[in-house]
Structure 1
Amino acid sequence: MAIAHEHGGNVFAVARNLGLAPERIIDFSASINPLGMAPGVREALTASLDRLLHYPDKGAAELKQALAAYHAVDAAQIAVANGSTELIHLLPRTFYGKKALIVAPAFAEYALALERAGWQVEYFALSAADNFALDTEALAGRLGAGYDMLFLCNPGNPVGNLLPLRDVAGIIDLCRESGTFLVLDEAFIDFCEDESAKHLVRENPRAVLLRSMTKFFGIPGLRLGYAIAAAETIEQIAAQQDPWSVNTAAQVAGIASLADEGYCRRTRSYVDRERARLAAALEQIQGLQVFSGRANYVLVRILRQEVSARQLREALLAKGILIRDCGNFQGLDAGFFRVAVRLEEENDLLLRGLTEALR
């Protein structure tokens, strides 16, 4: 079955359709830091306006150095991009192969990028029946059938499950043994302190780790992401990039974001606390099943067959609340939706809206 390549966060189009200003929509469909940008970002952007008279730094050298210090890796092991989505589309064109495996449910851009590059796409589907647990032995069996590339997201999107580092290390070994190039997407790992596999892939020429600055650092409109990998892998990726794909404002915002350690601590503390509160409150709404993970969102299943996530989305939109209908994710059905963790008062509005819509 073909899966529609749709995304959350399309608040401008939704607002136009409703005849509202975008600010009137409470967007739970995109999982962005509820605390907003780091305090120093706005000031840094304002101070850098005169730099817009020049072309961006093509190599993003200053940002790479900041990322290298932040992650304790070498700058040569980092490729900066116009969001991690640019990298997702570059990888199938950069590395040779014919057949790819995606651990699903997963971000639709993986399949789209592979299909556009002429790859055959198959899925290793996780099941809601066992909380979307990943069976590494079963995965090893699939990889033994011969795949050139594996896409794995940790924490999973839209599920939010976090694989322990030891399990990720085991999957890296499986890929090495089977000759499979591993794409490990850690777009939401910043919400999970000290769980990154960056030091397991940085010297591995057959693996790349993707990171996003959109979600945790709250700058989706600037489009900024990066890869961590072996230096030779980074060179191959950079050779395929369009020139000046990362603009000056994004580079400035990225550097300012990384410099604020207090903001990072406050974000993790708030999201951990509010996600637990939101998940517990969702579980109290009759007819809902909650899959609470470790990222900045909660996956929910509607247990009533007569109500679909699309219908629920439309009912909530009438109240100015936008949720993510997950029916287009491979492996999920029309009853699944995802909600971001937002500010407490906004989450309370969501809970009231859901309660009313599901009466």
Structure 2
Amino acid sequence: MKNPFDHGGTVFAVARSLGLSPEELLDFSASINPLGPAPGVREAVAAAFDRLVHYPDSDAAGLRAALARRHGLAPQWFCVANGSTELIYLVPRLAAAGRGLIVAPPFSEYAKSLARAGREADYLDLSPADGFALSLSSLDGRLASGKYSLLFLCNPGNPTGRLISRAGVASILDLCRRRGTFLVLDEAFIDFCEEESAVALAAEREGVVVLRSMTKFFAIPGLRLGYAVGHPQTIARLAAQREPWSVNTLAQVAGIASLADLSYPRRTRELVAAERVRLAAGLARLPGLSPFPSAANYILVEITAGPDAAALCRRLLKARILVRDCSTFRGLDGRFFRVAVRRGGENDLLLAALERALAG
């Protein structure tokens, strides 16, 4: 088996390799809402079982209506997809010919989507030395070359957790418009800090599409569900690129049920915010670990002394705990790993296991 720690959510493959069931592993590698799916999702999915004799609604009209209510926009501003990753592979078809620029360290699928579309990818590398801050002047300097028709930016950053304010994103969008660059803004984890979302900016202006995931915040990665927000002309072009019936009936039903529970987002944000602070403090107390500030439900950690990330991951796996080795992210190396923020008792188990693993 290939390195089991170089991508989040490999719990099934790791469990098979160890002769365990997935439920016997504590998975900190995938950053999923620790509350699990919203109440009502299980019942809604079960009640929709008899609909499986029909093809899914290819327009996802019910889900788009629910998203429109959530964001205060009309349904034509939304394109529903089989996870936001499907959209990542579709958006290169929307921009004019040219190279893609990716803000790094990035989600690996950005470069893969550009390659599949026959486009070259370059990177704007951010540095851990200043907390992965993005300089507008550096970005403008790169875009000024005129080579780039697409810019991929994740906010909050994955795996860094670094958040760019909505005002900062507006400045980036203005810069892209001046340089003729289409902005692909990946907000897969913005639900944890929704007040900084740029969805309203995407609704006001062309030249940008915002990608949202429903698998992380709403804890349904096994169903695969995401959506794009943008100007109706952009959304119509994007929707025309999708494969037929890519979003199944149960995923659509689960999405509608998830959005119907108005208290679930508040409870999620309260839990994650409190546990993120507590977990970060616990990580900082361990010798040789330096966690980065995060606005999402995960924390990037630098190893300043002790075993490298790969060795640490192997040691943790003996305790049946899975974390994310970040050495495969561009701009990071074997000193970095990422952990999800889970419930209090689970986070305590991680901290205790890390203490033992660091001691050898």
Partner of 1:239: 240
- Map 1:309-328 → 2, pairs under 5 A: 309-328=309-328
- Of 222-231 and 96-105, more deviation after overlay is shown by 96-105
| 1:141, distance to aligned residue in structure 2 (A) | 1.1
| 1:46, distance to aligned residue in structure 2 (A) | 1.0
8 Å Cα contact 2:114/2:121 also seen in 1: yes
- Map 1:237-276 → 2, pairs under 5 A: 237-276=238-277
2:300 equivalent to 1:299: yes
Distance in 1 (CA, whole Å) between partners of 2:166 and 2:208 is 15
Partner of 2:62: 62
Partner of 1:348: 348
Change (3 A) 1:275 1:5: closer
Query: How many residues in Structure 1 have an aligned counterpart in Structure 2?
Result: 355
What is the SS of the residue equivalent to 1:222?
coil
- Map 1:99-138 → 2, pairs under 5 A: 99-138=99-138
Per-residue CA deviations over 1:193-246 (Å, capped at 9, x if unaligned) read 311111111232211000000000000000000000000001111111000000
8 Å Cα contact 2:5/2:325 also seen in 1: no
Distance in 2 (CA, whole Å) between partners of 1:283 and 1:209 is 34
Amino acid in the other structure paired with 2:288: G
Distance in 1 (CA, whole Å) between partners of 2:212 and 2:5 is 21
| 1:95, distance to aligned residue in structure 2 (A) | 2.7
Amino acid in the other structure paired with 2:164: L
Distance in 1 (CA, whole Å) between partners of 2:177 and 2:200 is 16
| 1:5, distance to aligned residue in structure 2 (A) | 12
Partner of 2:11: 11
| 1:287, distance to aligned residue in structure 2 (A) | 0.3
Distance in 2 (CA, whole Å) between partners of 1:144 and 1:307 is 42
What is the SS of the residue equivalent to 1:159?
coil
Partner of 1:148: 149
Partner of 2:168: 167
What is the SS of the residue equivalent to 1:275?
helix
Change (3 A) 1:230 1:128: same
> Tell me, which stretches of 5 or more residues in structure 2 are unaligned?
none
Amino acid in the other structure paired with 1:67: L
Distance in 2 (CA, whole Å) between partners of 1:205 and 1:66 is 23
What is the SS of the residue equivalent to 1:299?
strand
Distance in 2 (CA, whole Å) between partners of 1:55 and 1:258 is 23
Amino acid in the other structure paired with 1:196: S
What is the SS of the residue equivalent to 1:338?
strand
| 1:98, distance to aligned residue in structure 2 (A) | 2.2
8 Å Cα contact 2:79/2:235 also seen in 1: yes
Partner of 2:26: 26
| 1:6, distance to aligned residue in structure 2 (A) | 5.0
> Tell me, which stretches of 5 or more residues in structure 1 are unaligned?
none
Distance in 2 (CA, whole Å) between partners of 1:235 and 1:118 is 22
Amino acid in the other structure paired with 1:121: A
Change (3 A) 1:220 1:72: same
Distance in 2 (CA, whole Å) between partners of 1:329 and 1:98 is 24
| 1:178, distance to aligned residue in structure 2 (A) | 0.2
Distance in 2 (CA, whole Å) between partners of 1:26 and 1:174 is 43
Q: Percent identity?
A: 60
What is the SS of the residue equivalent to 1:34?
coil
What is the SS of the residue equivalent to 1:194?
helix
Distance in 2 (CA, whole Å) between partners of 1:6 and 1:280 is 25
| 1:7, distance to aligned residue in structure 2 (A) | 2.3
- Map 1:277-292 → 2, pairs under 5 A: 277-292=278-293
8 Å Cα contact 2:102/2:152 also seen in 1: yes
Distance in 2 (CA, whole Å) between partners of 1:201 and 1:141 is 24
8 Å Cα contact 2:27/2:322 also seen in 1: yes
Distance in 1 (CA, whole Å) between partners of 2:35 and 2:240 is 36
How large is the Cα RMSD of the aligned pairs? 1.2
Distance in 1 (CA, whole Å) between partners of 2:308 and 2:245 is 43
Partner of 1:80: 80
Moved over 3 A (4+): none
Per-residue CA deviations over 1:115-163 (Å, capped at 9, x if unaligned) read 1111110111110000111111111111111211000011000000111
Amino acid in the other structure paired with 1:108: S
Distance in 2 (CA, whole Å) between partners of 1:320 and 1:190 is 29
